[in-house]
Structure 1
């Protein structure tokens, strides 16, 4: 609703401004070209990185100083904190980095944005940017027509840079023309009131353009042509920094719980540092003057002093915030709580988020995490279908004691859980996979297909459990000890398999992983064979009825289906990511699918 009102209002106001003032067209054209350059630059870096940026993020942010450095360096190179924010939210949602690391990256990116102001203040308004933008654009166009993802990415980077320079040049010329028609310094407001008013303008401008960098460049252009006062430019800079949080909040609506926590941290940091900066503006100006004097920046060079101020207040904000990071995370965890497993909230998607679709590695990672989530739900459902307590299944209790202890009385009904949750998560994974394939290369598409296949196996295991549940409840409570023994034997076998899978998935030791992989293989290959001869003896001696024998045969197949499908999930999704086991058991990705077929054939033959 807000978007429907907000966007048309902006369009109407902009159209009116362009109509009443011819000179305003030059400035707004420069802003439009600048924003288009930023979008193109981001696209280029996404293509050009080829996964390198994501790999660096995954490996080099385990310490606060590393995550801060990553944010500073990457934002300095790319001049786009929004790209870094998207990347951070994606990997945070995928569980590759912690919230603590994510906040560190965002704080570093906040400092990294200051380098753009320095470059513009030092060179941007003292050289002919139009002359430099043209050759950059020419070579950029040339590269995007060459074959190769990296070359195309480099081409888009050059085009983005060219349009950035082009846009800045037009903004500068626009304010030069504009000052002859209207003197904006007449609207300058001194003191705290002026700081609040112009900070609010900075917030609004950043929300409209979705770029604090663009707001800062406009501020520098206006200051360079003496269209705003120095004091008001400082307030605009503070407002631009606060305005970036709106973009983060909007982006977090489609994110998981961790993405919302990160957006909350971003909002709290930027708003509080902005408020503090406004309240101590005079002190910050004094500190800026002192640092400018040390750097030999003259009092008349207001653009460089603005760059100094921008750096001072952002670095100071980070320094103030760092001691309170753990308390901030505790507060965010309290506000944004994870929900426990139940029928009412089983349908919640935990990891899939739109930001991850921008980066293939992130998309594949969140798909795997969401599949793990679905597997854990399937584990609970399977335990329920076997009339077992899932906590006891994973404990060190003897299988017999797990069976005697019985099910967990949580009120979860398998059919209800499936319809309300499992189906929704499965459909979401398939939909997300389809979208992820649009930006993926051939190798990534194969990985995504394997993940989809793993999810299909999970669903098959759940469906087999649904078919098994009725007879399992009936015969495990039967007065007939013979049929009860058969069904308890099947439960014992599945308990062993579920435990072995859990240990394998959580083990970090290579030998332990391989040992339990072999154990699962042995448990599955030693399926209990129910021959007609054996069942005929049981029936002839009145131990079981014909109906019991028929049910037993079909349910034994369901048990084998559950075991086989869960093991297929392990092979396709988890084992394939663990290189040591992969070398031990598989030679290629295609062999994963071959093993699935062979296991199924072996099971059918044994039955």
Structure 2
């Protein structure tokens, strides 16, 4: 189950999980999506853990998570229906091929060939799916052969007769599932045991209900240390399954003791177990859809707010390790965190430039707070991405992790240079000096170009816009020329006595920091271009830059001409 689920998850590339963020505005949509995602990754526990992570990251609202959790219970029943194929009997050639005793070995052989012989990530993932499928059924066959003789053992028959007691049956199903942390696997074990012929409907029904309770242990463990809403998402899963079991038990046994089920004491087979598993989860979900708000109320009552919750840092960016169960989704959220870093760094740059003319202690405090956020976020991102790299990543996700490690550092350095500019403004304020009118005008022109190159870097990274990325390097070269020109002019003003010595050093340091910001934007652009195309993933970045600066690309020359015409004349006035 683990091999099969991992392969399915990697093939999905996080795409199915990402839809949970955007398409859960109604309970019914959430149910459908939860069932779809769980059916794809073959694990309701995995889906619910992802939901807990999304709620903890404040991407998914608690109410929107309810439908997904309900749908996850339905989606997980598909495994039982796959396993029931072992009972398929027909003389039809096509159906004989589809029978697991024939299909499992074939799938395993093809899976091994694809997994070991393919260099491409997608083929290897498909091989892993086929291999997991084959191993799943091989294990089922082995389990059936091992347990079949137990049907003749009196002690075994007596043991299972006690499971006809609904309370004991529910407890056994819950405990076994909690231990192995997979309702799909525990249902598979029950299906294997049904081959003995001594598992009746009366025994199986309570066990299956209990299995749905036991599977809630995984999201409970995942919610430890998470936000209150994340704990509530786990509480919704628990309360939904427990209440559903109680209601279904009452209804089921009421019918049995009044009307009576004719099949109640008959032996159940794999198909019967799969059918009841699906019926139970579909009926309970339909019952609770109109009362989703009740589940939310129960969860809020179980996990209450504390007075300190109101003063939590609402700007904190969550990098939830629970999302690593879906590497594609984890990479996507890490990317969002880097975008947030970029916006914070740009905000600090704009504020620091404003301090050169109008020094404000509140702005200084805000810049320092933002810089502290940038430093912590870079550390958290680095730790998060290193941990993520330990998981089985697709080639695309692995490349994205490397890109994020590079680019997060570039945006953090931009924030550092913004802080340096703030310190230059602080020296001006302390010495009660200002830049000359001419120097200030020239600085504004350079800052206009710097703000544009930051915009290009953010757009290139956030939207994977290769066109914006390709526009950065020509603008960076223009900025280098402007910076050198302004330094020369400043030295001339200093020689002629038009500028004070106290203002000279802050001005030169500011120019230097602005030029370094452009350099980091250039690095972002090169990284985006490098990692955007598989064929360029292994290019030599320095060689690529040398080719650009030598004017070996027509596009570079055109963009350089546009930016020269836009900014250079302003600094030569």
TM-score normalised by length of structure 1: 0.66
Name the structure 1 match of 2:428: 475
Within a 5 Å distance, the mapping from 1:71-470 to structure 2 comes to 71-73=34-36, 75-76=38-39, 79-82=42-45, 84=47, 103-120=66-83, 123-124=86-87, 133-148=104-119, 149-179=121-151, 180-185=153-158, 194-223=165-194, 225=196, 227=198, 230-252=201-223, 261=229, 264-285=232-253, 300=266, 302-303=268-269, 306-325=273-292, 350-351=318-319, 353=321, 355-356=323-324, 359=327, 361-379=328-346, 381-382=348-349, 385-386=352-353, 406-408=360-362, 411=365, 414=368, 421-434=373-386, 439=392, 446-470=399-423
Superposition CA RMSD, Å: 5.5
Name the structure 1 match of 2:95: none
**1:265/1:573 Cα in 2 relative to 1: closer, same or farther (>3 Å)?**
farther
2:14 is equivalent to residue 54 of structure 1: yes
The alpha carbon displacement at 1:282 in A equals 3.1
Distance 2:507 2:518 in 1: 16
**1:112/1:490 Cα in 2 relative to 1: closer, same or farther (>3 Å)?**
same
Asked whether the equivalents of residues 184 and 227 of structure 1 are also in contact (C-alpha less than 8 Å), the reply is yes
The secondary structure found in structure 2 opposite 1:350 is coil
Aligned length: 525
**1:153/1:409 Cα in 2 relative to 1: closer, same or farther (>3 Å)?**
closer
Name the structure 2 match of 1:565: 520
Distance 2:408 2:475 in 1: 20
**1:79/1:560 Cα in 2 relative to 1: closer, same or farther (>3 Å)?**
closer
The secondary structure found in structure 2 opposite 1:145 is helix
Asked whether the equivalents of residues 141 and 159 of structure 1 are also in contact (C-alpha less than 8 Å), the reply is yes
Distance 1:206 1:129 in 2: 25
5+ residue gaps, structure 1, are 1-37, 389-399, 580-587
The secondary structure found in structure 1 opposite 2:318 is coil
Distance 1:592 1:243 in 2: 58
5+ residue gaps, structure 2, are 91-98, 534-538, 550-555
The secondary structure found in structure 2 opposite 1:454 is helix
Distance 2:435 2:265 in 1: 96
Asked whether the equivalents of residues 84 and 109 of structure 1 are also in contact (C-alpha less than 8 Å), the reply is yes
**1:176/1:470 Cα in 2 relative to 1: closer, same or farther (>3 Å)?**
same
The alpha carbon displacement at 1:111 in A equals 0.4
2:8 is equivalent to residue 45 of structure 1: yes
Tell me which of the two structures has the higher relative contact order, counting C-alpha pairs closer than 8 angstroms and 6 or more residues apart.
2
